[in-house]
Amino acid sequence: MNATPAYVQHIHGKDPQFLLGKILRLRVYDSNYWKLNCAFLEQDTVVKRMLELQYVGGTFGAYGEPSPFVCILLKMLQVQPPLELVINKLLAQGAHKYVRAVAAFYVRMVASPVTIYTTLEPLRSDNRPLRLRDGSGWAMVHMDDVIHALLNDRHLYDVDFPHLPPRHVVEGRGDLSPIMWPEGVEDEARRRAREIVENVEQGGQDRATDW
């Protein structure tokens, strides 16, 4: 079932499903994973599928097959689980890292700028590794890298994000207090930045296929 339920409210002035680009959305609808595992999920059953996620990513393979991760994201946009539940239960829990990752994507897609910053910024202290599957194969990323991209980039894993004003603009409006870094996070961010620069200078590292 691809139709948006009648109870779902528009987000950013549109059907929430349309927040996902048309090409990607149609690929998801046409995928076997969606048809077999997602099409008939509801608010109270989508979490079970989230618990089965084993990697992040948008599309993979020669034909751009949608990943389970992006299929679950579209299903969340379609059935619109309460944002409060997503933040306080799915995002706050730490046991299931892929549940946290897809919940973070959902918050980035549907929440207000203030909610996005105040909810996602504390997760920069989570540096657990995540499997990534994309058009180039398998790799490893870290949760804090994903969170950084959600807060600073326009798109990630084939998903285009709604506009997010820079943090200093939101602060300037008086809607957001200056950032308070969790202990050790700023130092870790600087360390990871140095590693990225070093990798570029050395020609990069081989993509990981097993960990």
Phi-psi region at 58: left, alpha or beta (left = phi > 0; alpha = psi -120 to 50): alpha
- Residue 3: inside a domain, yes or no? no
- Residue 4: inside a domain, yes or no? no
* 3-state DSSP helix/strand/coil % of the chain, to nearest 5: 50, 10, 40
The answer to whether residue 207 scores a pLDDT higher than 60 is no
Start-to-end CA distance of the chain, whole Å, equals: 36
- Residue 10: inside a domain, yes or no? no
Residue with tokens 């969790």, as numbered in its chain: 182
- Residue 210: inside a domain, yes or no? no
The answer to whether residue 10 scores a pLDDT higher than 90 is yes
List all residues 6 or more positions away from 135 whose beta carbon is below 8 Å from its beta carbon: 59, 60, 61, 64
Q: Which residues of 169-178 are buried (b: 16+ CB within 10 A; e: fewer)?
A: ebeeeeebee
Q: Which domain range does residue 122 map to?
A: 16-201
Cα distance between residue 62 and residue 147, in whole Å: 28
- Residue 9: inside a domain, yes or no? no
**Angle between helix 68-79 and 97-110 (nearest 10):** 50
pTM over 0.85: no
Residue (of 123, 122, 17) closest to 70 by Cα position: 17
Task: Summarize the confidence of residues 107-115 as an average pLDDT.
Answer: 95
pLDDT in tens, 61-82: 888 899 999 999 999 999 999 9
The pLDDT value recorded for residue 186 is 53
If one counts the domains in the chain, the total is 1
Percent of the chain whose predicted confidence (pLDDT) is above 70: 85
- Residue 160: inside a domain, yes or no? yes
pLDDT in tens, 189-206: 556 545 654 554 555 445
Cα distance between residue 74 and residue 30, in whole Å: 13
CB 176 within 8 A of CB 114: yes
Name the token pair of 127. Answer: 């540096």
CB 176 within 8 A of CB 166: no
- Residue 101: inside a domain, yes or no? yes
Cα distance between residue 139 and residue 157, in whole Å: 13
- Residue 142: inside a domain, yes or no? yes
Cα distance between residue 57 and residue 157, in whole Å: 5
